[in-house]
Each structure stands twice: as structure tokens, then as C-alpha cells.
Amino acid sequence: MSELPLPPATRTLGHSGIAVSPIAWGMWRLAENGRTAGDAARLVHAALDAGITFLDTADIYGFDGAGGFGDAEALLGEVLAAEPGLRGQMVLATKGGILPPLPYDQSADYLRKAINDSLTRLKVDHVDLWQIHRPDILAHPQEVARVLDDAVASGKVRSLGVSNFTGAQTAALNHFLDRKLVSTQPEISPLRITCFENGELDQAMMLGLTPMAWSPLGGGLLTAPESARDKAVAAALDTVAQAQGVSRTVAAYSWLMAHPAGIIPIIGSQNAGRIAEGAAALSVRWTRQDWYAVLVAARGVPLP
């Protein structure tokens, strides 16, 4: 049976030259459950100690529908202020462009302010990757590109990415940018397979974008599947997990990493042990047969 290659120990973020770990850790849920800066610091250390040095946050993380906008960034900012040496040990990514109560705002004034506010909350002078969280269809990509190019030129942002963009939206923004995009962040998991066939990953490979997979466990659903289809996906993952002595979640991360676009799964757990466990995904081997078995289970119908 033909084996797919193992993921490399590091990947390069698009064409940026920035080396990142092939697995990221996400902080969407960091500012929940009364977590203190000390708790957050323990999670940051758990990720770094496991070799997971690519950290993803967003200005809206912490927002619960009523307030809390910026809370996850601010908590990480406290961690970085208390232990300044940590900043150099991570590749720090954040996002902006969702402004409650409005859905999305990528007007020039708002974007400039959003980037500055993120740096202030994070207590850093730059981030390594700044991503537009969701597209604002009322913003002209040329105007957005001008603001983002300025942010890179000023040194506030080292590289640029998008999230939840269609292929055409990605291409349009990239067309107007001098500093081309280096990443895209769609939802991808064994339960969410649309980007394998809708051209997003093909475009990422063509443009040299690093795909970052959000909710790689389907927001946790993969750990407790409910529908017959989701249980079938879990069973296909379990076959490989059991054969290689890893958990289903590790098998899920590694399934994404086996794709030739170089997908970086963003671990969403806020549990130190589960974050560290994710690093085991680097050593899971997939055959074409086993990989496609997961895809077919997710499709629910055989391949043609």
C-alpha cells in the first residue's frame, strides 16, 4: 500500500520565509472559564514545550455576544508582559475585521484601528501574521490592500492572510496587494471536507498560501460523534489510530496534515495535556487507501 509522506518538522508560512511548526494552537476559547494569566501562561508553555510554536488568536476571541471583545488577546498580552522572553519563541498570528454589533468592517479607518488595538492588547510591537477574519463584501479589495500593505511597510505586521474567504475573494485581494498573502484559514476537518473539492486548497497551492485548518475536530464533535455519518468518519479514523497507537484526535490532525497543500491544523483544546498530545500527529503515517476511506465516510457516498 502506498504511504503518504510524513509532515516536515517545520513549514514555511507561504512565501514569507517565516518558519512555523506544522501544527498550531488556537486561543478562541482562552478567555473562558475564568482563566487567569497564570492559567493562560501554563497553556502557552504546554504548546511551546510540545514544539507547537505557531499561535493563533483574534481580536474577537472572548466576545460572548454581549461583550468580551479583545479579551483573549488581552490575556495573552498579560502572559507576554509577565514573561517577555516568550514572544521570541512563538510565531504570533491574530485576526480582525469582525466588529460587533456590525458583522464585518474592513473600511480603511477601521482596519488601521483594529491592527493598532490588537498590538496594544497583545503588548507587542508587531505580529507575525495578520489575517482578515471574514470578508466584508462592502469593502473594495484595493482599499483593503492599501491599508494592509501599509501595515507591513510600517513593521506592525510581518505577513498577511485571510480566513473564510472564497477563492475569488482571495484572488481579488491578492491581486491588489504588493505584499502577497501567505495564508488562508478555512474550516477543515474530517467532518468538513468542502475545501478538498471546491478549489480552495488548489488555489492555496497555486498561490503558495499555507492553509490553516480551523476547528480540525469539528469544534470537538469528532470526539463524541452523533450522526451515523459522523460515527462512520470516527470509525475510519479509529482504524488508523488503533493501528498506530494514537488517539482519534491525533489521527484527525494527521489526516489533514497528509494533504499536499501542507495544511496546518489549529488545535482548539485549552487543556495542556491535549495540546501536547497533538504533537504526536507528526509521526502518523497514512496510506492512500486509509486516507480515502476517511474521505469516503465523510462524503457518505462512494467516490465515482
In the complex, the residues that contact ligand NAP under the rule CB under 6 A are: 26-29, 56, 133, 163-164, 185, 214-220, 223, 249, 266-271, 274
Nearest alpha-carbon partner for 20 in 238, 185, 197? 185
Please answer whether residues 82 and 37 qualify as being in contact, where contact means their C-beta atoms are separated by less than 8 angstroms: yes
For residue 302, the minimal CB distance to ligand NAP (Å) is: 27
The reply to whether 61 belongs to the active site is yes
Buried b (16+ CB within 10 A) or exposed e, 188-212: bbbbbbebbeeebbebbeebebbbb
> What does the alpha-carbon distance between residue 189 and residue 184 come to, in Å, rounded to a whole number?
15
Please answer whether residues 226 and 253 qualify as being in contact, where contact means their C-beta atoms are separated by less than 8 angstroms: no
Nearest alpha-carbon partner for 164 in 184, 138, 144, 141? 184
Q: 77 vs 216, which CB is nearer to ligand NAP?
A: 216
Task: Say which DSSP state 238 is in.
Answer: H
Choice among 61, 104, 110, 253 that is catalytic = 61
For residue 96, the minimal CB distance to ligand NAP (Å) is: 11
Which residue of this chain has its Cβ atom nearest to ligand NAP in the complex?
268
Q: 134 vs 158, which CB is nearer to ligand NAP?
A: 134
Q: 225 vs 268, which CB is nearer to ligand NAP?
A: 268
Q: 104 vs 291, which CB is nearer to ligand NAP?
A: 104
At residue 132, the 3 state secondary structure works out as: strand
At residue 198, the 3 state secondary structure works out as: coil
What CA dihedral angle connects 123, 126, 129 and 134, to 10 degrees? 60
CA gyration radius for the chain?
A: 19
**Grid coordinates standing for 183?**
495564508
For residue 158, the minimal CB distance to ligand NAP (Å) is: 18
For residue 194, the minimal CB distance to ligand NAP (Å) is: 14
For residue 1, the minimal CB distance to ligand NAP (Å) is: 28
Cα 84–Cα 86–Cα 87 angle in degrees, nearest 5: 80
Q: 35 vs 146, which CB is nearer to ligand NAP?
A: 35
**Residue numbers annotated as active site:** 61
